[in-house]
Amino acid sequence: MKTKAVTAAQIDTLAQRLSETPIEPSPSVKKAGDNLARRLVAAIGQERAALAFTSILFAATFDHAEARLTLVLEYGNTALAVESAAETAPVVAEEPKAAITPVVGKRQAILDQAQTGALPPAPDFNKPTHARFRDKLAQIVALAEAGDIAGLQVFEINTISSSPKAMARYRDLCVIAFAARAQLSA
């Protein structure tokens, strides 16, 4: 949609809605805009005036600019009414909110369990894509069940795809679990 430049006279018309007294016609768009900006700040405050001013002056048509000004003014009046109602309303003591517990992801939960000494579950390699890695996973599971921490630490895995990465993650979690058990027993 193309925008049509708002004239100084139209900006003066918008500014007039913010003033009780008649406004003198501005000689330029810049002076009319400055006048509108000052009156917006006085009416709705500095923070909202900057956004409102831009929104109003860059409206597609004068009718849109007028509608935006109306919305800004009505919203401002509503906000003032809400603030004054809040000041006169009796203060009710709020109940303390329950403590927010952080959401822990699945991987973090498994890591936390391993750090307490619990062995993680072995990855599920039942899908056909994992077929060629099942034997290697079985070796890692056997080492983990035997409690061979040295064997797990030297077991080499070439992490070339997702299956070996899952095996490496399982091996590393088992090593963490065995290290945690050793610290707990010491």
Per the listing, tokens 């849109």 go with 64
- Is there a domain that residue 40 lies in? yes
- Is there a domain that residue 178 lies in? yes
- Is there a domain that residue 28 lies in? yes
Structural domain containing residue 20: 8-88
pLDDT tens digit sequence for 92-144: 556 666 667 777 788 888 888 999 999 999 999 999 999 999 999 999 999 99
Per the listing, tokens 């009796």 go with 90
The number of domains in the chain is: 2
CB atoms within 10 A of CB 155: 17
Res. 79 pLDDT band, cuts 50 70 90: very low
Query: For residue 87, what pLDDT is reported?
Result: 45
Q: How far apart are CA 40 and CA 34, in angstroms?
A: 10
Burial class (CB in 10 A: 0-12, 13-18, 19+), 69: buried
pLDDT tens digit sequence for 15-66: 888 777 888 888 888 888 888 888 888 887 787 777 778 777 777 788 888 8
Query: For residue 50, what pLDDT is reported?
Result: 77
Contacts of 29 (CB under 8 A, 6+ apart): 5, 6, 7, 8, 11
- Where is average pLDDT lowest: 14-18, 85-89, 160-164? 85-89
Q: How far apart are CA 114 and CA 121, in angstroms?
A: 10
Query: For residue 78, what pLDDT is reported?
Result: 40
- Are residues 14 and 84 located together in one domain of the fold? yes
Task: Decide if 178 contacts 152 (C-beta within 8 A).
Answer: yes
- Are residues 73 and 135 located together in one domain of the fold? no
CA 97, 99, 100, 101 torsion-angle sign:
negative
- Is there a domain that residue 1 lies in? no
- Are residues 131 and 72 located together in one domain of the fold? no
Query: For residue 27, what pLDDT is reported?
Result: 85
- Is there a domain that residue 20 lies in? yes
- Is there a domain that residue 170 lies in? yes
- Is there a domain that residue 95 lies in? no
Contacts of 137 (CB under 8 A, 6+ apart): 122, 123, 125, 130, 167, 170
- Are residues 71 and 125 located together in one domain of the fold? no
- Is it the case that residue 71 has pLDDT exceeding 90? no
- Are residues 76 and 118 located together in one domain of the fold? no
> Is 173 or 50 the better-scoring residue by pLDDT?
173
- Is there a domain that residue 74 lies in? yes
